[in-house]
Amino acid sequence: MDKFAQRLKEAREKAGYRSAREAAETLQWTYSTYASHENGGRMPKPDLIKKYARAFSVGAGWLITGEPKSAQPIEPREKIGVVSVSGEVQAGHWVEEDSFSFQDTSYVPMSPNPQYSPESQTAFLVRGQSMNKKVQDGDYVIAVWIDQTRDAIDNDIVVIRRRHGQLVETSLKRLRIIDGHPKLFPESTDPKHQKPLDLGDPENGDCVEIIARVIGSYRDLT
């Protein structure tokens, strides 16, 4: 393992992630790509190094060179009273699967819902108008990762991930079970965001999956 990979692993462990897979799944990174960087298989591009540094609360310069003066690893922030932000949800916004969005403000200042473990909860910054009947652009939704809670049921608001080739879209939808078939509906006043998606019946090569279930929302009034 090269020195960059060793520092990346150290930063990930100090950030509280027990494995590369846990970090990748929680932060919505492609596991194979991240794992190849942590095991020294290949060096990430500079923009990915910056995003890894931000996610793990270390300096990008420290990851690259190990130079203490660049930035020392920061001890994990106490997460009592905050919910970590995993990224953005925006219908129609497609990005390369190897990239991800992580916010400058990486925590929402609200206590985790006591019905669920703090580790299972995350927040997403809402962009666009695809669910503006429920949440507005700039709001945050608080969600529970679907593999750490019950399955989504009829009328739940869910975070979905849609893949088309190497492109990925993450967005919000209302799950409805109609005649036994799950469908995903936007709830928008914008005609561009009113067409439902079928879950489990890929359209035009799309692969659609539910990754989290929404349990609340947060709006910054400052």
What residue ranges in 42-180 does DSSP mark as E strands?
83-89, 95-96, 107-108, 121-126, 140-145, 157-164, 167-178
- In degrees and rounded to multiples of 5, residue 124 shows phi and psi of -130, 135
DSSP 34: H
CATH architecture label of 3-65: Orthogonal Bundle (1.10)
pLDDT of residue 85: 85
Q: What is the mean pLDDT of each run of 10 residues along the chain (222 residues)?
A: 87 90 85 90 83 86 74 43 84 74 62 86 93 95 93 96 88 95 95 87 72 93 66
Q: 84, exposed or middle or buried, with CB in 10 Å at 0-12, 13-18, 19+?
A: buried
CATH homologous superfamily, domain 83-218: Umud Fragment, subunit A (2.10.109.10)
Domain ranges of the chain: 3-65, 83-218
Tokens, residue 1: 């393992």
**CA-CA distance, 31 to 23, in Å (whole number)?**
8
pLDDT of residue 73: 43
pLDDT of residue 184: 95
